[in-house]
C-alpha cells in the first residue's frame, strides 16, 4: 500500500492512489489533515489545471509547499480531484 512519510510520520496511506506523471495522488480522506497548513502558492499545468499547495508541519518542522492538489482539474485530469501528491523530501513508497 503506498505511503507518504516525512520527518518520521505517515502523512498519507492508501491502496487507492492515482498515478499521474510518476506521482502518486492520494485521496483526501487518506491524508492526515493534522499535518497540513494552508499556502497561497499555486501553479498551472497546461493539461491538469491550477494546482494549490499546502505545507507540512510535523513536530514543529515545516516543509513549505510539500504537497499539491487540483481543486478543479481540467476534464482530462478529473481522476485526481480531491487527491494530494507530494515532493520536497516526502518519501512515497
Instruction: Output the pLDDT for position 83.
Output: 98
Q: Give the domains, in start order, of the chain with CATH numbers.
A: 3-92 (2.170.150.40)
pLDDT of residue 67: 98
Sign of CA dihedral 90, 8, 29, 56: negative
pTM of the model: 0.96
Q: Tens of pLDDT along 28-78? A: 999 999 999 999 999 999 999 999 999 999 999 999 999 999 999 999 999
Mean pLDDT (whole number) for 2-12: 98
20-29: average pLDDT? 98
Q: What is the model's pLDDT at position 48? A: 98
Amino acid at each position: 500500500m503506498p505511503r507518504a512519510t516525512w520527518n518520521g510520520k505517515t502523512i498519507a496511506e492508501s491502496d487507492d492512489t492515482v498515478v499521474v506523471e510518476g506521482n502518486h495522488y492520494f485521496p483526501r480522506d487518506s491524508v492526515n489533515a493534522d499535518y497540513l497548513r494552508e499556502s497561497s502558492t499555486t501553479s498551472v499545468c497546461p493539461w491538469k489545471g491550477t494546482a494549490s499547495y499546502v505545507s507540512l508541519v510535523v513536530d514543529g518542522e515545516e516543509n513549505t509547499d510539500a504537497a499539491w492538489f487540483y481543486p478543479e482539474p481540467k476534464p482530462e485530469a478529473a481522476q485526481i480531484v480531491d487527491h494530494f501528491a507530494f515532493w520536497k523530501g516526502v518519501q512515497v513508497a
